[in-house]
Structure 1
Amino acid sequence: MHPSVKTPASVPKWEEFTVTDAPQPAQLDNIKAQLDLILLALEALAGIGSEAMLRAAVDLKIESMVADRVALWRLRQSSPLRKGQGGRKKLDVEEARALVLISCYLAKQNQELIRRAVGLLEQLAEQNREPHQAALIGDYLDTFCNTYQERMEDGESVSPDTLTHLALKLLIDLLFYSGPGGSRRLWLALLDRSR
């Protein structure tokens, strides 16, 4: 994968995004799906795997929520977009917040790579060129699309253009989630999108 310089990530706090109204079960399903896609985008861009996610949980002192690979797999597998019935179907608010913290922590660690990718995307758009013409973005799009097709229930039926659009939107979103207040920004976006 592409090397990137890791920037030190400050530890976000639970207080950064409190829950005034607990999401309803249907909203939590949508939140599960969105969080899984964000983690998929991080995986595809930065080569982040379950070990990095578990290390982030330890760094954030939330390892009780994501204790091991099986717990992480069950949380991710609970996304309604996923193939198979192996995961737990219920994700509670605290687990959702834990995944938000992990996602933003990892995005912040890979902020330089995310910035470089978004910068390339802007350059290509200005030059009226296709995103895949830059190696970094082309590799990201290929990995994202292939992984989506392998893991998601509708993977085989979603058009490549739709997947490319989704991957690029998530890439731009990652830029916002990697900055100061990223956890709060992501949490509010999840709540807003789930309504």
Structure 2
Amino acid sequence: MRSKASSPKPTANWEDLTLNTSPDPVQLDNIKAQLDLVLLALEALAGIGSEAILAAAAHLGLESMVADRVSLWRLRQSSPLRKGQGGRKKLDVEEARSLVLIICHLTKQHQELIRRAVALLEQLTEQNQKPHQAALLGDYIDTFSNTYQERMEDGDSYSAEVLTHLALKLLIDLLFYSSPGGHRRLWLALLGKSKKYS
């Protein structure tokens, strides 16, 4: 049985995720879109669902930000890329910081799987072979592409090649986010993407 003392405090990495100025609406939209895409990649690779995300929130002491399935759905639906955008249009900075810590907690949990997938990708690239030739990568790419097409407004307008490229880029990103200091790396990446996904 784990002692409560071993659970990390939400403030442990919280202080690393600071802003000198508040993001403008365009930047917040881009942050929402990118966080949703990173979660989508993690879902596609590791098969995580809302239960795992909520469990990570509870473990990190962030239940007030991500309290239940409905609040999580609203956060995900706030992405400007989503079909319908049935959730709130606004994501505040505290919610973004919470999602960054949750994502990095989950990538650490699945680090071995992420490393294996990236190693396979490197191996196949060196051999000039397509990623689909490895079952793990093929399943990941197919799941990511199908889910993207199902959930995103522009899903049907992208070719399989474009979605494969996006899936593989996000896979490599996941490896960086699973490393020590990954939460800070993800935060800086979010702030650096100004108009890429708008």
TM-score category by the smaller chain?
Answer: over 0.9
Distance 1:28 1:96 in 2: 9
Are the counterparts in 1 of residues 149 and 156 from structure 2 also a CA contact under 8 Å?
yes
Are the counterparts in 2 of residues 16 and 181 from structure 1 also a CA contact under 8 Å?
no
Distance 2:151 2:106 in 1: 21
1:45-101: per-residue Cα shift (whole Å, max 9, x none)?
000100000000001101100000000000000000000131100000011111111
Are the counterparts in 2 of residues 148 and 155 from structure 1 also a CA contact under 8 Å?
yes
| Identity level (%) | 77
State the partner residue of 1:3: none
1:95-135: per-residue Cα shift (whole Å, max 9, x none)?
11111111111001100000000000000000000001000
Are the counterparts in 2 of residues 28 and 194 from structure 1 also a CA contact under 8 Å?
no
How many residue pairs were aligned? 187
State the partner residue of 1:50: 50
Distance 1:40 1:154 in 2: 15
Output the amino acid matched with 1:153. E
Distance 1:98 1:82 in 2: 20
State the partner residue of 1:108: 108
Distance 1:123 1:86 in 2: 41
State the partner residue of 1:140: 140
State the partner residue of 1:182: 182
Residue 194 of structure 1 and its aligned partner are, at CA, apart by 2.4
State the partner residue of 1:6: none
State the secondary structure of the residue aligned to 1:156. Answer: helix
**For structure 2, which runs of at least 5 residues remain unmatched after alignment?**
1-6
State the partner residue of 1:94: 94
Q: Residues 18, 138 of structure 1: CA spacing in aligned structure 2 closer, same or farther, 3 A cutoff? A: same
Aligned-residue Cα RMSD (Å) equals 1.3
Are the counterparts in 2 of residues 77 and 88 from structure 1 also a CA contact under 8 Å?
yes
Q: Which runs of 4+ in 1 moved over 6 A?
A: none
TM-score, with length taken from structure 1:
0.93
TM-score, with length taken from structure 2:
0.92
State the partner residue of 2:125: 125
State the partner residue of 2:158: 158
Residue 10 of structure 1 and its aligned partner are, at CA, apart by 6.4
State the partner residue of 2:171: 171
**For structure 1, which runs of at least 5 residues remain unmatched after alignment?**
1-8
Distance 2:32 2:122 in 1: 29
